[in-house]
Amino acid sequence: MKTKFRKFGLPMGVALLAVGGAFASTVSSQSKSVLADRQGHIKVGSTCTPTQITCSNVFNPQMCSDGSNILYDWNGTSCPLPLYKKVTP
């Protein structure tokens, strides 16, 4: 019994470590693409019109606007989420 465990224990541990690393790197790259600069869209009813203004989806107290309208993020079908003013470091 001990011989079988020793024979397969190390390769099994290495395989599990590799799979865990693959999942960790995938989650890391997805979170970076989610938090990024976004093109602002003006929302009028159910219509979303793109603007030339770049906003951020990272929360801060100042909403992104074109001067009179709050700008929203386009998700492919609608504009459900408001965007925030870009903060420069």
Quick: pLDDT tens for 14-55: 665 566 555 555 444 444 456 789 999 999 988 999 999 999
Q: Which 8-state DSSP code applies to residue 45?
A: T
Residue 27: its pLDDT value, please? 46
Measured CA to CA, the distance from residue 30 to residue 49 in angstroms comes to: 27
pTM, rounded to two decimals: 0.59
> Are 42 and 68 a contacting pair, CB within 8 Å?
no
